[in-house]
Chain A
């Protein structure tokens, strides 16, 4: 089993739709969880951290389920500008030196 698994997509959704991505991780001792966004041929940038209580930032909601070892990202009212690859990132029990990225889920928002 991979340390961090994501469905690579692509997810093609119309503008205004709600879309959700899941990411599973294998190390139950993982401590920190993040979603990064990566535009085509650009560097990844932090979208949001994922807290145990869940967190929301505008149209974006991230949740963590430790029991089932997955994190999720929900995007409401999708915009064309949301088209990108969304990377799930997990910091493991080893601290900073154990940073694992998922392969990313590609989202294409269609007019």
Chain B
């Protein structure tokens, strides 16, 4: 199993540009999450999904959108990028059944200038 994969690993955006961060898991997990991590700060939940077709906002959803058309994929869309969105973005998943353990992808480092 590859686990949770994220692309791209790094990206530089100009203010106002848009992009999609990709996240895929091959563990057949129902629950998927997007977090952002800023220096000296804890992980903040942006959006989460409890299954295909079901998504909900987390703590910091403004400026982002998500979709979950399949169990495996949970892309995060940034519209009109702003410098405040410069961060490291982690995607995670968990089975939601026997284990609460969250499996994280390697992260995407995004800089908006």
Give chain A's interface residues, CB within 8 Å of chain B. 4, 8, 32, 34, 42-46, 49, 87, 89, 91, 96-97, 99-104
- Taking A44-B90, A96-B31, A104-B42 as contacts, is the C-beta distance between A34 and B56 under 8 angstroms? no
For the complex formed, measure the closest distance between the CB of A47 and the CB atoms of chain B, giving whole angstroms.
Answer: 10
CB-defined interface of B92-105 with A at 8 Å, one 1/0 digit per residue?
Answer: 00101000111011
A97 touches B90 (CB 8 A): no
Most buried by A among B43, B101, B105: B43
Q: Specify the main secondary structure of chain A where it touches its partner.
A: strand
B50 within 8 A of A: yes
B42 touches A96 (CB 8 A): no
Report chain B residues within 8 Å CB of A89.
102
B74 within 8 A of A: no
Give chain B's interface residues, CB within 8 Å of chain A. 31, 33, 35, 40-43, 45, 48, 50, 56, 58, 90, 94, 96, 100-102, 104-107
Distance of A45 Cα from B31 Cα, bound (Å): 17
Closest to B45 in A: A99
Report chain A residues within 8 Å CB of B35.
101
- Taking A43-B90, A96-B31, A96-B94 as contacts, is the C-beta distance between A4 and B42 under 8 angstroms? yes
- Taking A91-B100, A97-B48 as contacts, is the C-beta distance between A43 and B43 under 8 angstroms? no
Distance of A40 Cα from B88 Cα, bound (Å): 12
For the complex formed, measure the closest distance between the CB of B19 and the CB atoms of chain A, giving whole angstroms.
Answer: 20
- Taking A44-B90, A91-B100 as contacts, is the C-beta distance between A99 and B106 under 8 angstroms? no
